Structure 1
Amino acid sequence: MKASMIAYKPVGLALGAASGMLAGMAFKQAWKMIGHEEDAPNATDEDRTWREVLVAAALQGAIFALVKAAVDRAGATATRRLTGTWPD
């Protein structure tokens, strides 16, 4: 196993946990702006429309994917700076 991968594993785990929390906070703020409500709808909320539920799910997925990609990329870049090689 490459040194860069060994160095990246603990960093990746910590960043993954942090990115999940960051993405959750970002989604909550985005939904407040878009939905003008405190909480996004759950798929089983009977009083919510299909449109509300699907828009909330799509927005949440997009935010989580964007934050994960940004955090993973930053972690790989930092690993290369520390070890000189890009983690696989």
Structure 2
Amino acid sequence: MKASKIAYKPVGLALGALTGVLASSAFKQAWKYIEGEGDAPDATDEDRPWREILLAAAIQGAIFAVVKASVDRSGAVAIRRVTGTWPG
């Protein structure tokens, strides 16, 4: 196994936790901006219409994907700077 892959394992785990925190925070801010409410609907919230639940899910998924890609890419770049090789 390449040294860059070994070095990236603990970095990847830490970045995974950071991704969740950042994505959650970004989604809460985005939802507050879109709907003016602090809490997004849950899928089982019977008082909210389908449209609102699906919109919230789509936005949350998109934000999570963008944050995850950004954090993963940044981690890979950092590992390349330290080890000299890409952790692919």
Question: 5+ unaligned residues in a row in structure 2: which ranges?
Answer: none
Give identity over the alignment, percent. 75
Match of 1:43 in 2: 43
- Alignment partners' CA distance in 2, 1:54 and 1:35: 14
Q: Helix, strand or coil: the match of 1:87?
A: coil
Post-superposition, which runs of at least 4 consecutive aligned residues in structure 1 deviate over 4 A?
none
In the alignment, what sits opposite 1:11? 11
Partner of 1:57: 57
What is the Cα deviation at residue 35 of structure 1? 1.1
TM-score (norm 2): 0.98
Take 2:35 and 2:56, find their aligned partners in 1: how far apart are those partners? 9
Structure 1 stretches lacking a partner, 5+ long: none
**1:47 aligned counterpart, secondary structure:** coil
**Paired positions, count:** 88
Q: Distance in 1 between matches of 2:50 and 2:57?
A: 11
